Structure 1
Amino acid sequence: MEEKKKIDFDLESNDFCLDDEIIHTKSSIWTRMKFNLAAAKSNTDEFWARFPLIGYSLKRILFALITLLLAVCVVFIMLRLQTPDEVYMGNIDYNKLGISYGDDEYFRLLAMRKAMFKVDGPLLTQLWNYILNIIPFIPREVVINGTATITPSGEIVLVGDKVIKWFYLGEVFSTAVSEPGKTVTSVFAEAIPYSFAFGTVAMVFSYGIGIPLGILSAKNKEKTVDNSINTASIIFTAIPPVVFVVGIYLISINVFGAHGLFSSGTFDTKFWPTLTIVLMIMPPIIISTRRYVIDEMTADYTKFALSKGMSSTYVFNIHIFRNAGIRIFRTLPVAFVGTIFGSSIFTEQNWAIPGMSKFIVSGVAAKDSFVVMGYIVFSASVGIITTLIADIIMAALDPRIKLTK
């Protein structure tokens, strides 16, 4: 009888040993890799199928982050290319320093100032460092309150307090915005409470008044009440924000004798800016509420419920307003972001409210790239978070939407 050959398998080399012969099984490794990838894809597809809302929300957030990253790259490069060197010099008096514009001492000082504000080096390197700084999952060692010095070898060195930052938006380098050298995060932290306070109060009043008016208009469709509310909403929406804000500002001062500066601390400087924001954002709420309610009032299920003998009050409160309310309140987070970073800009500027609007206006005027970039990154990040909140609100209000399949 022919003697059987001994077969062994080497786990480290993935080779079969047939007595003294070695049979390589590299093809089996590729097969195993394909199997593992297919299994991972199958498990992923199963997870998204079981949790569709989570997958939908994560995809929206992922695409929003990719869009934000591309916007950051484009805007950063454009701002850096358009920023003149004089911006980094601030209000330095060259005569006192004995420096003439364009000489060697001037360029040496300019290099030191750029190093102090961390805008030295190649443009792409600056962009890469900025992207790393705004990613909140990567700790970075940065120098704050720094000053630039020149070593005996001629190398420019940044000296200051070294701290670990998980999220860093750079430093202000324009006196028109704030004190040069202060971090953008710190100046934003001082202004955010004002913008959020005015935005929150305005949103509460806008939805609290706009939704009932929209419902009243829908219930009296094509009647005098509906025509009056609808016409007023369209007129307020059509007025340009600049004209609208300046008009109310002048009326509040010349007609009602109100103060024009928020720093006066009077009730006038809190009431009139809030009223202005409310009158700007409430008309779209009225119009959309009217449309949503009318859509539900003319739906087949509404006609069927009424034909079954249900009262119109019961049908409206239990069915119509519930379904229309889902669509109304889903827009609340996005409208909140639009109010803080959009509608309130002109209002804060006219009443000199120390909110976020002053940074986007003064930052663009002074070509302070880090302030402008910080405003874009912060507003977009809040928008991404509110998008997730809007999806959660939809899942909580709409019984047809589940977190699981």
Structure 2
Amino acid sequence: MNTEQKSSSGDLELLELLEQTSLSDEVSSVKKGRFEKLKFNLSKSSHAYGEFMRKAPMLGYSLRRIIYAFITLYIAMAVVYVMLRIVTTDAAFISDINLEKAHIIYGDERYLKLISDRTRMFGVSGSMTSQVLRYLSNITPLWPKKVVINPGIDPDTAQLTGETVTKWFYLGVFMNGSSGGTQLSLVQDAFKRSIPVSFKVGGISVLLSYLIGVPLGILSAKNKEKSVDSAINGTSLIISAIPALVLISLLYKLSIYVFGSGGTYSDLTVVQKVWPILGVMLLVMPMVIVNTRRYVVDEMTSDYTKFALSKGLSTQYVFYVHIFRNAGIRLVKTLPEIFVLTLFGSSILVEQHWSIDGMSKFILKGVANKDTFVVLGYIFVSASAGVFSSLVGDLLLATLDPRIKLTK
């Protein structure tokens, strides 16, 4: 009987072992099947991506560049947000309140409640991680967001009040009324009013800089190492060597004290508005002249130019058909980038001196007042414009030069 029980027990153990082995093999088979399916889908996606790049290389290249650029931009925005919040003191939230008149003592219960209410109003409450994720979500125009405009705190319920609206893109509100806009007003609304002004001044300046600078650069290159070249190139280098602040300040004082021009942009006549445009041109045009000269000289000394001349082609034909065309392609690529650099960089000094209602006031006043959303908004808008300008430059280069292949 004991022998039969042992035999039966052994059979049961063997049966259980076989069942476990069978189940394990079945699980392994399922996992293997899923892995093979995943591998097949990845291979299929890779093949589809390759076909897409071959059929629409510019579109594929553009999408890839935009995705990579904005991943980098969002990481940078997160880092800048954290750094700004670290250096932002309580004074930035209560700049419009006189604590002494309100009989509020620093550090007491009323003070702490005031700071808590203000951070909720400005949308900077909660943990640092939640703040960063909330801001990155707000500046991503891919899904609608519920935001509160004209926010306030109900004194009875201590609840956040205001008008809840749906927005696809949201840059936050002004924390300080001295940063270029009314406190609690939308940053993006203020940007909408100022960007066209900066665009007009910067756009006219860049256009004139190229219309005048490119011919001067060509003239300098065609007379390389002659007196004309020395005069044009030397003057450009001298202007570039003068600190921008000194250069614009001298031009500003010259326009007022010598030519009797107005001190602010709103007071200038149509003719006098040439002064701020000239100021931006002095910052941009030397670079255009030097780049044009360098590109043309590079093409003039290349092997294909020497070969064309040795075949008996005229100097004028070789220059305008080959040299200028190839140099012009490189110049066209720099145009979008220089325009954005002028709009958000070079024009800052000019706008400040002539009190132009452009974008420069936001970055200068925003940094001075530690106005988080103004500074972040300016960085995001300027960096995004820089990303797209760089992409436009690459696409122009690929369009004009058939030797450039975006799929490589």
Instruction: Calculate the TM-score normalised by the size of structure 1.
Output: 0.89
Q: Which residue is equivalent to 1:171?
A: 173
Q: 144, 163, 166: which is aligned to 1:139? A: 144
Secondary structure at the residue paired with 2:163?
Answer: strand
Q: 360, 363, 377: which is aligned to 1:360? A: 363
Structure 2 unaligned segments of length 5 or more: list them. 1-21
Q: Which residue is equivalent to 2:351?
A: 348
Q: Which residue is equivalent to 1:307?
A: 310
Secondary structure at the residue paired with 1:94?
Answer: coil
What CA deviation, in whole Å up to 9, does each residue of 1:35-70 have, x standing for no partner? 222232233234335554444443333332122112
Conservation of the 8 A alpha-carbon contact between 1:259 and 1:268: no
Please state how far the C-alpha of 1:247 moved relative to its aligned partner: 1.1
Q: Which residue is equivalent to 1:3?
A: none
Q: Which residue is equivalent to 2:258?
A: 255
Q: Which residue is equivalent to 2:215?
A: 212
Conservation of the 8 A alpha-carbon contact between 2:261 and 2:268: no
Q: 394, 397, 401: which is aligned to 1:394? A: 397
Matched residues in 1 for 2:243 and 2:271: separation?
A: 23
Map 1:82-121 onto structure 2 (within 5 A): 82-121=87-126
Matched residues in 2 for 1:102 and 1:35: separation?
A: 63
Number of equivalent positions: 382
Q: Tell me whether 1:157 sits opposite 2:159 in the alignment.
A: yes
Map 1:172-211 onto structure 2 (within 5 A): 172-177=174-179, 178-211=181-214
Q: 80, 88, 95: which is aligned to 2:85? A: 80
Matched residues in 2 for 1:28 and 1:263: separation?
A: 73
Conservation of the 8 A alpha-carbon contact between 1:269 and 1:351: no
Conservation of the 8 A alpha-carbon contact between 2:61 and 2:407: no
Conservation of the 8 A alpha-carbon contact between 1:54 and 1:403: no
Matched residues in 2 for 1:351 and 1:376: separation?
A: 23
Conservation of the 8 A alpha-carbon contact between 1:394 and 1:401: yes
Q: Which residue is equivalent to 1:375?
A: 378
Conservation of the 8 A alpha-carbon contact between 2:53 and 2:407: no
Identity fraction in percent: 49
What CA deviation, in whole Å up to 9, does each residue of 1:155-200 have, x standing for no partner? x421111111111000001121121011100111111111000010
Matched residues in 2 for 1:364 and 1:29: separation?
A: 54
Secondary structure at the residue paired with 2:33?
Answer: helix
Matched residues in 1 for 2:58 and 2:111: separation?
A: 59
- RMSD of aligned Cα (Å): 2.0
Please state how far the C-alpha of 1:274 moved relative to its aligned partner: 0.4
Q: Which residue is equivalent to 2:153?
A: 148
Please state how far the C-alpha of 1:97 moved relative to its aligned partner: 3.3
Conservation of the 8 A alpha-carbon contact between 1:215 and 1:290: yes
Matched residues in 1 for 2:36 and 2:270: separation?
A: 74
Structure 1 unaligned segments of length 5 or more: list them. 1-20
The amino acid across from 1:243 in the alignment is V
Matched residues in 1 for 2:186 and 2:287: separation?
A: 37
What CA deviation, in whole Å up to 9, does each residue of 1:64-94 have, x standing for no partner? 2122112111111111111111111122233
What CA deviation, in whole Å up to 9, does each residue of 1:281-334 have, x standing for no partner? 001110110111111111111112112221111111111111110001100000
Q: Which residue is equivalent to 1:7?
A: none
What CA deviation, in whole Å up to 9, does each residue of 1:335-371 have, x standing for no partner? 0000011100011011111100000000000110110
The amino acid across from 2:257 in the alignment is N
Conservation of the 8 A alpha-carbon contact between 1:112 and 1:149: no
Map 1:289-300 onto structure 2 (within 5 A): 289-300=292-303
Please state how far the C-alpha of 1:399 moved relative to its aligned partner: 2.7
Matched residues in 2 for 1:283 and 1:61: separation?
A: 31
Q: Which residue is equivalent to 1:236?
A: 239
What CA deviation, in whole Å up to 9, does each residue of 1:130-175 have, x standing for no partner? 01000110210000011112555xxx42111111111100000112
Conservation of the 8 A alpha-carbon contact between 1:273 and 1:351: yes
Conservation of the 8 A alpha-carbon contact between 1:206 and 1:278: yes
Q: Larger % of helix: which?
A: 2
Secondary structure at the residue paired with 2:147?
Answer: strand
Matched residues in 1 for 2:322 and 2:66: separation?
A: 32
The amino acid across from 1:286 in the alignment is I
The amino acid across from 1:315 in the alignment is V
Instruction: Calculate the TM-score normalised by the size of structure 2.
Output: 0.89
Q: Which residue is equivalent to 1:12?
A: none
